[in-house]
Amino acid sequence: MSKKALSQLSFDPPESLDKDQVVAKVLQLRGSALFTVCEPNGNELLVEIPAKYRSKAWIKRGGYVVVDKSEFTDQQNKIDGSIVYVVQHPLKNWEKQSYWPKEFVNNTAAEIDESSSSESAEESD
């Protein structure tokens, strides 16, 4: 795993991703350290967050992470990769990166609009 991984909880995106790293959307929590995520191509992966970052990173359903699949390619287990970055808001810095999947661009804009309109509705109550 990269030495920079999760060091900033990823407010600032890296310049590039390694060949075995991919941006993925979090679908569900599967346990204390396991998550189901979806790659831009629709492929679902079971990923883990490293033990030393479990209490430091907040990962929510619908959020985005960068997954490193390199250390799990030769292993015969159910885990497909580990989380190396947790994407934090605002997403606009991430969306500007050349590696950000075009499949996620419209989704992130809709999620931001949805969360801000639900906050506005709560304030008006």
Tens-place pLDDT, residues 57-75: 788 899 999 999 987 766 6
Cis peptide before 13 (omega within 30 of 0): no
Predicted model pTM = 0.74
Tens-place pLDDT, residues 71-93: 776 667 788 999 998 887 777 88
Structure tokens at 1: 């795993």
Distance (Å, whole) CA 12 – CA 75: 31
Q: Which domains does the chain have, with CATH numbers?
A: 21-124 (2.40.50.140)
**Helix, strand, coil % over all residues of the chain, rounded to 5:** 25, 25, 50
